[in-house]
A and B are shown apart, each in its own frame.
Chain A
């Protein structure tokens, strides 16, 4: 049946060559390569659950009175948008699970994007020829964060209304064009009624379409350039080692999709998230306390909270305070991220292509910069909860805020320096793991070395016939217990030999046309 359908399509559009390439495509095995897949699959879950929500959500700010089954809100005036979300949560069967699964999927989506970005950064996977995909991936992260914000702003509850008000003030703070930007985005002075329908169109159509398109580009580039891989026996710049797409990788990746969906669905049923009925409907003169945004905007919120009261003014013009923490800080953050591959190539002079990954110690400066920057954002994230920290510790909000005002600029360079020392010491010690490094060696000052070029292990490359008259090549490293098999089969021994030579240019082909290979693999 499937065979007949495949033939029917192949007769009309062709595609057998592509199908063969696709089915035998090699995917390296490493848990960290699943991070991007988790992001992809949570996006699919977002689309599925989001379509369901769209059928029940009413993007209208027309006022109405609530008469649903949630007693504490009965008789309250609210917008149609808020009413429809409360109704979806309490009076639509499976509505609450869908809504919470959608929100959890967004949390997992952005979290996996961030961890994926960190993996790519710390292993140097962004280096030539993958700079383009680094840019696409970063843009995806920005779009995901933006759509997370527009999504949780839709219910028109008190918490998200406060978030919108801050977003409006941030837009207003942009020099020269701020008032126009704010008025065009929001339709006029806050609170303008246009914002909820606009957020709706942005959230369900414009940004998701852009994300889907960029995911397509991202995957196409991965397909074209093939995966990076960690160095190891049999791994070369010139080859890819791993499982074939069909059937092994397909099974485990599909399994991962169901696993992501399972986790998100379980969280959606058991773990309450964004309980808008507790916040109450948006009121122009009310504000929740404490008020924290969703986690992915915590660093911007933290920067807003601890930035000193400074508002420069000259010649009758002023630069409002929120501009620095909420526009400049994210601007520098993403600007530096966009430029990093090019800056690193320029400063290290390493302009060549790389397909084998670095370990973080191989590049102490990059690792130290990354860890220092990461600690900066973690501190800002904590600063976004200065009121809660004050509540829990019993200290005053002022002392907590001052602590962060001191730590945020000072601690990251210290952490970066310590990271640099640890990485160089680890490199010099030649040990496998950081945990194995004795304190004495860690404290010793070590000169950073150029990453060692591992000596190419002597391997064997041979070609052998397959049943059915096809040919295959194998690569053997007896010392390292490595036996690898070519992912494709070939029509002739010459073709197979040519392919093996491209994968291992330094290894001579030991047996080329033997019908029976004398030296069989010791591994059987």
Chain B
């Protein structure tokens, strides 16, 4: 009895404290503790009340096992039949009604189409075009000479810094290694690969310069840059597509064309990746 009263009093005090804390500007930790105490006091009071002062589980009642009145089933069936019987040519009418509802359903479902654009070929290309200048996320163009050997630089085609599928990694390789891909796809040791993981589409955000490996933090797919960004570990099965680039007369990195294959995660109708087949078909 005393404990129950004490719990409710604690709750009242906590509610009062909560009001004061709120009125004087609020403080998250105190608010949490006091709200917890205000609610918890009521909880403990009620549970003790139920346990100590009220009758416990000494009651029993019959469980009316379902179905307890099978006879009623027949009555329900009879009621249904009674209503349905007098209708002439029931089958035909029902079928016509069903057909009308079904067609209405189809017509009513069609506006779902308005929810999105048509996929079409939009997954097969990005915003890169011949001559697109590579710019950083801030929109500033990237000088080939400023690229560092130890890091990767994320670039977009100029004017499309919010384009998710166009995000591209620029990597400057040391002069003593051979850049992957056709010779005219890179310039001065600078190569460009899609940043969209070919597994589940995350940005391939980590680069280990000593091993020339790109690493996706989402599902740990690992890509070897020197090997044309072929996957070496993790769930990804396809290499990151390479973007053909060159350096223009002002020293900026520009694209020679769009990607030659779809970037990012796979989909049912994704055209065949020519590098999969082992043919020397790149750089058409």
- List residues of chain A with CB under 8 Å of any chain B CB: 24-26, 28-29, 93-94, 96-97, 100-101, 129, 162, 165-166, 168-170, 172-180, 182-192, 194, 224-226, 234, 237-244, 247-249, 251-252, 254-259, 261-263, 265-270, 283-291, 304-311, 313, 316-322, 325, 353, 355, 386-387, 397-398, 401, 475, 483-488, 499-500, 502-503
Please name the 9 residue pairs, one residue from A and one from B, whose CB atoms are nearest each other, closest first. Answer: A269-B32, A266-B36, A255-B46, A320-B266, A289-B217, A251-B50, A262-B40, A258-B43, A262-B39
Contacting residues, chain A, for B266 (C-beta < 8 A): 172-173, 311, 318, 320-321
Bound together, the chains give a CA A436 to CA B167 distance in angstroms of 62
> Is there an interface contact between A255 and B167, defined as CB atoms closer than 8 Å?
no
Closest residue of chain B to A500, judged by CB?
B62
Question: Chain B CB within 10 Å — which of A28, A166, A186, A386 has the most?
Answer: A166
Is B203 an interface position by the 8 A CB rule?
A: yes
> Is there an interface contact between B269 and A317, defined as CB atoms closer than 8 Å?
yes
> Is there an interface contact between A265 and B61, defined as CB atoms closer than 8 Å?
no
> Is there an interface contact between B35 and A265, defined as CB atoms closer than 8 Å?
yes
Closest residue of chain B to A183, judged by CB?
B116
Contacting residues, chain A, for B216 (C-beta < 8 A): 287
Q: With both chains docked as a complex, state the minimum distance between the C-beta of B249 and any C-beta of chain A, in angstroms.
A: 28
Question: Chain A CB within 10 Å — which of B40, B56, B58 has the most?
Answer: B58
Contacting residues, chain B, for A310 (C-beta < 8 A): 237
Q: With both chains docked as a complex, state the minimum distance between the C-beta of B170 and any C-beta of chain A, in angstroms.
A: 12
Pull 19 A–B residue pairs with CB atoms less than 8 Å apart, ordered by A: A166-B201, A172-B266, A179-B123, A183-B118, A184-B113, A186-B116, A189-B117, A189-B164, A190-B165, A249-B50, A252-B51, A255-B43, A284-B162, A285-B156, A286-B203, A286-B205, A287-B202, A322-B199, A503-B60
> Is there an interface contact between A285 and B203, defined as CB atoms closer than 8 Å?
yes
Contacting residues, chain A, for B63 (C-beta < 8 A): 226, 237-240, 355, 503
Closest residue of chain B to A174, judged by CB?
B268
Contacting residues, chain B, for A266 (C-beta < 8 A): 32-33, 35-36, 40
Binds A, one of B20-28, B82-90, B180-188: B20-28
Is B238 an interface position by the 8 A CB rule?
A: yes
Contacting residues, chain A, for B206 (C-beta < 8 A): 289
Tell me whether A304 and B219 are in contact in the complex, defined as CB-CB below 8 angstroms, given that A97-B32, A283-B137, A401-B234 are known contacts.
yes
> Is there an interface contact between A251 and B25, defined as CB atoms closer than 8 Å?
no
The answer, among B22, B33, B46, for a CB contact under 8 Å with A93, is B22
Contacting residues, chain A, for B154 (C-beta < 8 A): 285
Tell me whether A485 and B59 are in contact in the complex, defined as CB-CB below 8 angstroms, given that A248-B54, A269-B29, A269-B36 are known contacts.
yes
Q: With both chains docked as a complex, state the minimum distance between the C-beta of A254 and any C-beta of chain B, in angstroms.
A: 5
Contacting residues, chain B, for A484 (C-beta < 8 A): 58-60
Question: Chain A CB within 10 Å — which of B45, B123, B217, B218 has the most?
Answer: B218
Is B122 an interface position by the 8 A CB rule?
A: yes
Closest residue of chain B to A268, judged by CB?
B32
Contacting residues, chain A, for B218 (C-beta < 8 A): 162, 166, 287, 291
> Is there an interface contact between B267 and A398, defined as CB atoms closer than 8 Å?
no
Type the 1/0 row for B48-73, where 1 means its CB is closer than 8 Å to any CB of A: 01110011111111111110000000
Bound together, the chains give a CA A291 to CA B204 distance in angstroms of 13
Tell me whether A190 and B119 are in contact in the complex, defined as CB-CB below 8 angstroms, given that A251-B50, A320-B266 are known contacts.
no
Type the 1/0 row for B113-151, where 1 means its CB is closer than 8 Å to any CB of A: 101111100110000000000000100000000000000
Type the 1/0 row for B227-268, where 1 means its CB is closer than 8 Å to any CB of A: 000010111111000000000000000000000000011111
Q: With both chains docked as a complex, state the minimum distance between the C-beta of B61 and any C-beta of chain A, in angstroms.
A: 4
Bound together, the chains give a CA A241 to CA B205 distance in angstroms of 61
> Is there an interface contact between A187 and B28, defined as CB atoms closer than 8 Å?
no
Closest residue of chain A to B156, judged by CB?
A285
- List residues of chain B with CB under 8 Å of any chain A CB: 22, 25-26, 28-33, 35-40, 42-47, 49-51, 54-66, 112-113, 115-119, 122-123, 137, 154, 156, 162-165, 167, 195, 199-203, 205-206, 216-221, 231, 233-238, 264-272, 276
> Is there an interface contact between A28 and B57, defined as CB atoms closer than 8 Å?
yes
Bound together, the chains give a CA A241 to CA B56 distance in angstroms of 11
Beyond known contacts A242-B57, A247-B50: 14 more, CB 8 A cutoff? A179-B123, A184-B112, A191-B162, A194-B115, A240-B61, A255-B47, A258-B40, A285-B137, A304-B200, A313-B272, A320-B265, A397-B220, A485-B60, A486-B61
Tell me whether A94 and B31 are in contact in the complex, defined as CB-CB below 8 angstroms, given that A183-B117, A487-B59 are known contacts.
yes
> Is there an interface contact between B202 and A243, defined as CB atoms closer than 8 Å?
no
Contacting residues, chain B, for A224 (C-beta < 8 A): 66
Contacting residues, chain A, for B115 (C-beta < 8 A): 184-185, 187, 194
Contacting residues, chain B, for A309 (C-beta < 8 A): 221, 231, 234-237
> Is there an interface contact between A259 and B40, defined as CB atoms closer than 8 Å?
yes
> Is there an interface contact between B116 and A187, defined as CB atoms closer than 8 Å?
yes
Contacting residues, chain B, for A284 (C-beta < 8 A): 162-164, 167, 203
> Is there an interface contact between A255 and B44, defined as CB atoms closer than 8 Å?
yes
Bound together, the chains give a CA A398 to CA B259 distance in angstroms of 30
Closest residue of chain A to B40, judged by CB?
A262
Closest residue of chain B to A163, judged by CB?
B218
> Is there an interface contact between B54 and A251, defined as CB atoms closer than 8 Å?
yes
Tell me whether A304 and B235 are in contact in the complex, defined as CB-CB below 8 angstroms, given that A93-B26, A187-B115 are known contacts.
yes
Contacting residues, chain A, for B30 (C-beta < 8 A): 269
Bound together, the chains give a CA A176 to CA B268 distance in angstroms of 6
The answer, among B116, B123, B237, for a CB contact under 8 Å with A311, is B237
Tell me whether A191 and B217 are in contact in the complex, defined as CB-CB below 8 angstroms, given that A29-B56, A486-B60 are known contacts.
no
Q: With both chains docked as a complex, state the minimum distance between the C-beta of A330 and any C-beta of chain B, in angstroms.
A: 15
Q: With both chains docked as a complex, state the minimum distance between the C-beta of A159 and any C-beta of chain B, in angstroms.
A: 11
Tell me whether A94 and B54 are in contact in the complex, defined as CB-CB below 8 angstroms, given that A262-B36, A503-B62 are known contacts.
no
The answer, among A192, A248, A397, for a CB contact under 8 Å with B55, is A248
Bound together, the chains give a CA A342 to CA B223 distance in angstroms of 47
Contacting residues, chain B, for A397 (C-beta < 8 A): 220, 233
Q: With both chains docked as a complex, state the minimum distance between the C-beta of B122 and any C-beta of chain A, in angstroms.
A: 5
> Is there an interface contact between B203 and A287, defined as CB atoms closer than 8 Å?
yes
> Is there an interface contact between A244 and B59, defined as CB atoms closer than 8 Å?
yes
Question: Chain A CB within 10 Å — which of B199, B203, B264 has the most?
Answer: B199
Q: With both chains docked as a complex, state the minimum distance between the C-beta of A99 and any C-beta of chain B, in angstroms.
A: 10
Contacting residues, chain A, for B66 (C-beta < 8 A): 129, 224-225, 353
> Is there an interface contact between B60 and A475, defined as CB atoms closer than 8 Å?
yes
Bound together, the chains give a CA A96 to CA B27 distance in angstroms of 9
Q: With both chains docked as a complex, state the minimum distance between the C-beta of A422 and any C-beta of chain B, in angstroms.
A: 31
> Is there an interface contact between A241 and B62, defined as CB atoms closer than 8 Å?
no
> Is there an interface contact between A261 and B39, defined as CB atoms closer than 8 Å?
yes
Bound together, the chains give a CA A486 to CA B5 distance in angstroms of 32
> Is there an interface contact between B60 and A239, defined as CB atoms closer than 8 Å?
yes
Closest residue of chain B to A29, judged by CB?
B57
Tell me whether A269 and B35 are in contact in the complex, defined as CB-CB below 8 angstroms, given that A94-B26, A285-B203, A322-B200 are known contacts.
yes
> Is there an interface contact between A239 and B202, defined as CB atoms closer than 8 Å?
no
Closest residue of chain B to A175, judged by CB?
B268
Question: Chain B CB within 10 Å — which of A172, A185, A225, A270 has the most?
Answer: A172
Tell me whether A305 and B219 are in contact in the complex, defined as CB-CB below 8 angstroms, given that A189-B123, A321-B236, A502-B64 are known contacts.
yes
Bound together, the chains give a CA A469 to CA B233 distance in angstroms of 82
Contacting residues, chain B, for A258 (C-beta < 8 A): 39-40, 42-43, 46
Tell me whether A248 and B116 are in contact in the complex, defined as CB-CB below 8 angstroms, given that A175-B268, A309-B237, A502-B62 are known contacts.
no
